[in-house]
Amino acid sequence: MTTPTHTNARRHERVSAVLPIRLSGQTGYTRDISIGGCFLQLEAAAMTDCDVCFELDMGMTHGAMTMRCCGQVVRREQEGCLTGIAVKIKEMQLLVK
């Protein structure tokens, strides 16, 4: 019997979802998302701040409904020309236009 060497720190199950986001004037996409966190992909280099706020386009509403999320960057990855950041979400607010 083997013991896993990697412990998954996530408390919430993530689902694959590609949704447009806006973060500090940059645009990007989610790779996956859960109620407690998400992984974002941006073409520009990620900020050095540990806390970020971004707006998530909810998809089928054509911009009429967005979710404003704030959280802590817990990991950064370079994936070719994309910068990926894992964010632990601390606050969410639904914005309806």
Cα–Cα distances in angstroms (integers) from residue 82 to residues 31, 46, 49, 58, in the given order: 12, 9, 18, 22
**Domain-embedded: residue 1:** no
Total of domains in the chain: 1
Rounded CA gap, 1 and 18, in Å?
38
Q: For position 67, which CATH number holds? A: 2.40.10.220
pLDDT at 5: 44
Chunked into runs of 10 residues, the chain (97 residues) has average pLDDT values of 48 86 92 94 76 87 83 92 94 90
Has residue 6 been placed in a domain? Answer: no
Q: Does residue 2 belong to any structural domain of this protein?
A: no
In a domain, 10, yes or no: no
